[in-house]
Chains A and B, each alone.
Chain A
């Protein structure tokens, strides 16, 4: 009896100990480092950038209230990028006499001096948007003669002002989630080079959000009466606005009335993935093109084998298998948090469950008329 027990124990303990020793050896050991001090600074900072967000004068009154000054216009998008559930307040500053120019497909073009302002914040309680908020960072895209420049300002703990940040910052955030439970996350403020990860198109920095399809909606903070595009047009801030005809419009990913499942899913994939997954983006080598305008299903991932996914493929064959979400690499990577697997690569440290659910039901309901045509183009 005793012998049997020992054998049994061995049977349990041995594989366990092998497993444990493997886990330990796989873990990265981070050595200790004591804080050093420089005798002379490595570079003399001769920055002519504004050091504080308040220096720009975008907002009046208490800065954290984000009450826009003249020529600073709030705007919103139909379907935004997921950033660890942070909410965003967006503004556009157009200097006197400067305008933006309508484009039907691409991002609008903007006159020199334009600043796109994006504030990332968490309300105390996601269910009450008016509850007191904690602003983490304010990102600026500034249109200079040579092109766009990206700058980032990180807010002080006391929420009085935000200071310029080049090197990024890791911070912890928490809020009451829509389900009533408290959520916490590691929030990575990007460093200046990381901004380019998403905003580089070819070799140029470009904005991502302000397209006709994204702006085509009403936003009470801008106008009680008019849709955003009409407001900008009537205020003479938008050139080349087509007075007649159908304007492109993205569905709101989380609003069932705004579009059918496919429209909402494609809008979600466009804003969350297509800045890299398009022919000019940094993930062009993947061959995946998730722009809303892409109609070729194979380029959209249907029965498309991975090119350079490595362990990111999770041993699955195709980006999207219609009707089989669990066999689709795209969903696998959206549902993952491992830095070597997760998509998008930057901008989130947690899974966007609601987004995953949307894309899962899109794939489950996706019907392909002749799969063999797609498999063998």
Chain B
């Protein structure tokens, strides 16, 4: 009888944990809007090459996107991210806040962009770009209605994003897509679905950033079906912690498939050096190294139509036909994870996703610091040179090799096969 009561109590606790709606955080800075729309729009459209536009202090409200096209050597400067605010709340024309296309040598610094219908700052096909001390935010309670990407350079080269903040994106806060030669440093990202994401980009350095209170902290992704693929990423000295926020991504988007409580995910990327990072307090896992197969398999049958819908809004979705993309490598390889600090104050894994449940059944109900799905291309074996995963010198970090391909048959906590210092 007593046993039964205990069981009942346990069941109740589980129910409560699973069903209590998580309260979403809010960002509510005081705003007093000024209308300088015509003047600022004119400055963007007529900006001369090799000039600087100095925006004044104030909270400026816009009904339409601000766009730059085909500009060279142009600087747009505010008086500081707390002083010059460009708000697109309730905008009626255009989806982006600021949209920059086909430009060269552009510097954006010292202002904030808020509440665009779509992306706050989208830059495409631009060469040599600096985004410095810019804050992207959606105000109010964090919600799926928020725009997708905060700071979003895509198909660009020589990109520097530094000392920026990204808050409340319903996809990724700082998101670099299909770009080359990228530095992301000294930034903060919180209350987003994904804090910082490098997608299909190569020669990327991500360091001295803080990602916290997102659904997932840092994503290093390589996705199929695009013209550009990513590899060669270094991530170091980052602090990634407490990313346990409920996933509020748009259904069908790739990040909506990311479980909450994931610190860092390295997916289907080659040549990643991941070191001297501090990763703490995640309900699902601190760091996971996975193949795209795991993502594609995890989707529900409706997801493909949903992801098509998401793609339409410029949001990356899941592509279940990835095997048709011959140029694409769906498996992580040459990954080096060393000298990091892992810690977890979460005693029990979350039951809200399959990984958490897996830890309950296979991992003694404890959350591994580092997880590797172990899914391999046909005809290869673990630790073949092009598939090598090296994990060493990470203190007493715990580890799980999932063997996800074979129903977790060879599930193991043994790090030895992955310690490349052992000959």
Q: B51 in the interface, Cβ–Cβ < 8 Å?
A: yes
Instruction: Determine the chain B residues whose CB is within 8 A of the CB of A38 once the complex forms.
Output: 36, 39, 56
With A32-B33, A191-B45 in contact, is A308–B312 under 8 Å at CB?
A: yes
Task: List which B41-67 residues lie within 8 A (CB) of chain A.
Answer: 41-43, 45-48, 51, 53-56, 58, 60-61, 63-64, 67
User: Tally of A-B residue pairs with Cβ under 8 A?
Assistant: 90
* B46, B56, B89, B309: the one within 8 Å of A311 (CB): B309
| A43–B48 touching, CB < 8 Å | yes
Assembly CA distance A35 to B33 (angstroms)? 9
Interface centre among A31, A46, A309 (most CB of B within 10 A): A31
Q: B35 in the interface, Cβ–Cβ < 8 Å?
A: yes
Q: A196 in the interface, Cβ–Cβ < 8 Å?
A: yes
Q: Which residue of B lies closest to A169 (CB)?
A: B38
Instruction: Determine the chain B residues whose CB is within 8 A of the CB of A36 once the complex forms.
Output: 34-36, 58, 60
B72 to chain A, nearest CB (A): 14
With A33-B34, A36-B36, A306-B308 in contact, is A192–B56 under 8 Å at CB?
A: no
Assembly CA distance A30 to B115 (angstroms)? 11
| B39–A33 touching, CB < 8 Å | no
Q: Which residue of A lies closest to B44 (CB)?
A: A193
B379-406 interface code vs A (CB 8 A; 1 in, 0 out): 0000000000000000000000000000
Per DSSP, are chain A's interface residues mostly helix, strand or loop, or mixed?
A: loop
With A36-B60, A39-B56, A167-B45 in contact, is A30–B311 under 8 Å at CB?
A: no
Q: Which residue of A lies closest to B41 (CB)?
A: A167
Q: A310 in the interface, Cβ–Cβ < 8 Å?
A: yes
| B309–A28 touching, CB < 8 Å | no
Q: B313 in the interface, Cβ–Cβ < 8 Å?
A: yes
* A30, A31, A45, A306: the one within 8 Å of B46 (CB): A45
| B33–A309 touching, CB < 8 Å | no
* A28, A35, A307, A309: the one within 8 Å of B35 (CB): A35
* B41, B53, B310: the one within 8 Å of A191 (CB): B41
Instruction: Determine the chain A residues whose CB is within 8 A of the CB of B312 once the complex forms.
Output: 306, 308-312
How many B residues have CB within 8 A of the partner chain?
40
| A31–B67 touching, CB < 8 Å | no
Instruction: Determine the chain A residues whose CB is within 8 A of the CB of B56 once the complex forms.
Output: 38-39
Q: A12 in the interface, Cβ–Cβ < 8 Å?
A: no
B157 to chain A, nearest CB (A): 16
| B309–A34 touching, CB < 8 Å | no
* A167, A309, A310, A339: the one within 8 Å of B38 (CB): A167
Q: Which residue of B lies closest to A29 (CB)?
A: B90
Task: List which B285-329 residues lie within 8 A (CB) of chain A.
Answer: 308-313
B149 to chain A, nearest CB (A): 16
* B51, B60, B63, B308: the one within 8 Å of A308 (CB): B308
B57 to chain A, nearest CB (A): 11
| A34–B35 touching, CB < 8 Å | yes
Instruction: Determine the chain A residues whose CB is within 8 A of the CB of B68 once the complex forms.
Output: 193
Instruction: Determine the chain A residues whose CB is within 8 A of the CB of B93 once the complex forms.
Output: 188, 339
With A28-B90, A31-B61, A306-B308 in contact, is A167–B69 under 8 Å at CB?
A: no
Q: A166 in the interface, Cβ–Cβ < 8 Å?
A: yes
Q: B412 in the interface, Cβ–Cβ < 8 Å?
A: no
With A32-B33, A309-B312, A310-B309 in contact, is A42–B45 under 8 Å at CB?
A: no
Q: A203 in the interface, Cβ–Cβ < 8 Å?
A: yes
Assembly CA distance A30 to B68 (angstroms)? 24
B313 to chain A, nearest CB (A): 6
| B89–A42 touching, CB < 8 Å | no
* B54, B89, B313: the one within 8 Å of A30 (CB): B89
A-B contact pairs, 29 of them (CB 8 A): A29-B89, A29-B90, A30-B90, A31-B31, A31-B89, A33-B33, A33-B34, A34-B35, A38-B36, A38-B56, A42-B40, A42-B53, A43-B47, A47-B46, A166-B46, A167-B38, A188-B93, A191-B45, A193-B45, A193-B69, A196-B69, A306-B308, A308-B308, A308-B311, A308-B312, A309-B308, A310-B312, A312-B312, A313-B309
Residues of A within 8 A of B (CB): 28-36, 38-39, 41-43, 45-47, 166-168, 188, 191-193, 196, 203, 306-313, 339
Known A43-B43, A188-B93; 20 more pairs at CB < 8 Å: A30-B90, A32-B33, A33-B33, A33-B34, A33-B35, A33-B60, A36-B35, A42-B39, A42-B54, A46-B48, A166-B45, A167-B45, A191-B41, A193-B69, A203-B102, A306-B308, A307-B311, A308-B308, A311-B312, A339-B93
